[in-house]
Structure 1
Amino acid sequence: MFKEPEKVFNSIDFNSLSENCLISLIQHDNIKMNVTQVWEQVLKWEYLDKVYPYKKVIPKDLRENLFKHFMDQQNNNLEPNMIKEIDSMAISSIQKNLSIEKDFNIIVDKINDLIHKLLNKEIKLKQQVIKYYNDHNMNSQEIYNWLLNNQISTNSIFLLGYFNFHGIVTSQNNNKAFNLFINASEKDHVIAQYFVGKCYTHGYGTIKNEKLAFEYYEKAANKNYAVSQLEVGFSYLNGIGIKEDFKKAFYWYEKAANNGIIAAVNNLGLCYLNGTGIGKDYNKAFELYKQSAEEGNSDGMVMLGYCYRNGVGIEIDKQKAFELYQNAANLENKIAQNNLASMYERGDGITKDIHKAIYWYEKSARQGHEGAKNGLKRLQINN
């Protein structure tokens, strides 16, 4: 492939060589350069600004001398003792380490993409990320160790924060996580901006600050990050960290819904139901609740059940309402459990059954639903 490798090293297109071409070049039988000269050419390559691939290949002091030698370009002759330290394994080590670093960078990028997708699908993150490691035969401890020594991109900075935030192969440390999220967010890492907002909302690794939480959610929302758009809508709706503004709440819920956030679809339905930031439209509310329920959102099931039970945007159908409440109750939705208990207690569209009413009131009450607690007391006194 290369009849005269030295000419390739000196060509103006040298930096555009692929990794495989570079490795083939430095292993070429016809190369008439000593190992030190080869190293100088490697340093010229586009990996010059990424020192990390070489740090496992040569000792630190030697590496620094090599870089100094290259940058100064004042003396083409290295000290003899330096040449001796670069043994015959150096070139093969370059190939191995470039491959390792490249693989870890790809893994880090893929995990960031996974977290992005899971957040927008409102799926519990930690378990799914760990499952992803296991399914792809990844060693999370190795990834964590690599991250500790390779804070070289916003993705790697964020992911190290994520490991600390969830206590993956390390003790949970919200302070470290917060600082890493801040670091990545300042470099415009959109998921990190969302997590900084989350930290300020709940006081994870920092003091609670609703105003700062809103600002970080808004930064990510303005970059079209859907889950942050949901948070911004919620903030405007409830006046959290920002002045209450129903029209802006509706605006951001709509953007989040259009970007696939099912909770936002459900919240839009509530806006149409109550005329919040938009004119009342029961038919539109029903359609949005139906969409949310069909996507498996338990709150959407509850509200669709409400529509069927009360004839909102649709004819009354108590049996359909019961089925929807049952489905949502099985998903541990405490409101659905309370509503199901209420239907059993009253015999509302179904056969009255006090024992089942008590059962569902108990389940809802254990999750803190006040209405269920009152219903449970009432039935226990009277029965």
Structure 2
Amino acid sequence: MSNKQNLKNINTYNLLYEFSHNYDKINIKEIEPIINDYIFEKDLSILIDRLVDIIFKELNEGNDAIVIKQHVLEYTNNRNITLQEIYNYLLNNQCKSNSIYLLGYFNYYGIGANSNKKMAIELYQNAAKLENKAAELSLINEYLYGKIVNKNYTTTFELSKNLAKEGYACALNNLGYCYENGYGTDINEEKAFELYQKAADLGNSGGMTNLGWCYYEGIGTDINYQKVCELFQKAADLGNSNGIFSLGYCYKEGIGTNVNEQKAFELYQKAVDLENLTAIYNLIWCYEGVGTDINKQKVFELSQKAANLGSSTAQYNIAYMYDIGIDVKKDTKQAIYWYKKSAEQGHQDAKKKLNELLKN
């Protein structure tokens, strides 16, 4: 059976066999009778493997981080163990790659402890050295899109290429992104298109969205607005926030469909609920009078949301609002706080404004 066929048949029970290198084979049928009683160390080990299975499967499908986290939390509910107990077990059992990775995941998202993304990434790196595929996918995402570590496109390309050889859809999508943008390799738009197509064919919603933008911009293929809308719709149906936002853009601009500003507004809101930053910016634009009534309070709330999600631009904008008193009561303390947050990410204007306020 080919890797492609194997991937199509992957489910949350057999993923353990794909990427756990430090465990004996487990008879899945034997797990169910004990799944609700995690008293013994063996049971906790099974739980940890299962959680990593869930995360890996959903990363591979292209699901959003907020969705994956919710599914992790749902799985641990009603299982006679607290998140703090799982965290403590992970902290004291770091000999297996799944435990190392999951401790990193818990630290990244503040599960069972306060969020510590720097520590999380170090743990991802340690697990990746042990060839843990969930850790490798998480590292790729950080190197490509994260704000905590410096971009490492060479490592991103190599990790993506190796995982893509094994037929993993998320890796195919990421490798396509590398070829499209020249990350760790020369730009090759035809190769990017081909890889996005493969990822989409394997059900990766991110690949569908990227393929849609290829058809929109003519990247490695001819422009085809009908395919643009169809692919964004498929990704949106799978719950991908970029697909949902992109479909909203189609309705706003009439790409492959009729203009419908109300529909665009609704889709942007749906993507915002999934913490999609691009959608947040576009919904701010909507609340300035496109597809809905002008609402300055909503503009501020959405800007605050984007700032909390780590956008340096949004942090600067919020700081400026507090600094000047635009749509919010003037508050120099809050202005300094958000200018500092933005400046720490390298925002030059934020650095200047921060210095000005600290001198006064």
TM-score, normalization by structure 2: 0.60
**What is aligned with 1:362?**
299
SS in 2 for 1:169: coil
- In 2, Cα distance between the equivalents of 1:364 and 1:280? 37
Distance 1:296 1:114, change over 3 A: closer
- In 2, Cα distance between the equivalents of 1:142 and 1:306? 44
Amino acid at match of 2:54: L
Q: Which has the bigger relative contact order, CA under 8 A and spacing at least 6?
A: 2
**What is aligned with 1:112?**
52
**What is aligned with 1:71?**
none
Q: Structure 1: where are the runs of 5+ without partners?
A: 1-48, 51-97, 370-379
1:282 matched to 2:225? The reply is yes
**Deviating more after overlay: 174-183 vs 105-114:** 174-183
**What are the within-5 Å matches in structure 2 for residues 288-303 of structure 1?**
288-303=231-246
- In 1, Cα distance between the equivalents of 2:236 and 2:107? 35
- In 2, Cα distance between the equivalents of 1:280 and 1:116? 33
Answer whether contact 1:158 1:192 (CA < 8 A) is retained: yes
Decide which of 280, 286, 302 is 1:334's aligned counterpart. Answer: 280
- In 2, Cα distance between the equivalents of 1:175 and 1:309? 39
Deviation at 1:151, TM superposition (A): 3.1
Deviation at 1:246, TM superposition (A): 1.2
Deviation at 1:252, TM superposition (A): 2.3
**What is aligned with 2:64?**
122
Decide which of 167, 171, 181 is 2:124's aligned counterpart. Answer: 181
- In 1, Cα distance between the equivalents of 2:287 and 2:160? 38
**Deviating more after overlay: 169-178 vs 117-126:** 169-178
Deviation at 1:101, TM superposition (A): 2.8
Structure 1 segments, 4+ long, off by >6 Å, are none
Distance 1:313 1:141, change over 3 A: closer
SS in 2 for 1:263: helix
**What are the within-5 Å matches in structure 2 for residues 227-306 of structure 1?**
227-306=170-249
- In 1, Cα distance between the equivalents of 2:196 and 2:252? 26
Answer whether contact 2:56 2:133 (CA < 8 A) is retained: no
1:103 matched to 2:43? The reply is yes
Decide which of 139, 148, 169 is 1:196's aligned counterpart. Answer: 139
**What are the within-5 Å matches in structure 2 for residues 52-91 of structure 1?**
none
Distance 1:209 1:303, change over 3 A: closer
- The size of the alignment, in residue pairs, is 262
Amino acid at match of 1:115: I
SS in 1 for 2:77: helix
- In 2, Cα distance between the equivalents of 1:148 and 1:134? 20
Answer whether contact 1:334 1:363 (CA < 8 A) is retained: no
Amino acid at match of 1:113: D
Deviation at 1:155, TM superposition (A): 1.6
Distance 1:196 1:286, change over 3 A: closer
Answer whether contact 1:328 1:336 (CA < 8 A) is retained: no
Distance 1:336 1:211, change over 3 A: same
- In 1, Cα distance between the equivalents of 2:71 and 2:44? 19
- In 2, Cα distance between the equivalents of 1:338 and 1:295? 25
TM-score, normalization by structure 1: 0.57
Deviations 1:307-352 (A, max 9, x none): 45655434xx33xx2232121232232354266468x56xxxx8xx
Decide which of 159, 168, 176 is 1:225's aligned counterpart. Answer: 168
What RMSD over aligned residues (CA atoms) do the two structures have, in Å?
A: 3.7
- In 2, Cα distance between the equivalents of 1:337 and 1:175? 31
**What is aligned with 1:160?**
103
**What is aligned with 1:77?**
none
Q: Structure 2: where are the runs of 5+ without partners?
A: 1-21, 24-37, 273-278, 307-312, 315-326, 328-360
Distance 1:154 1:291, change over 3 A: same
Amino acid at match of 1:246: E
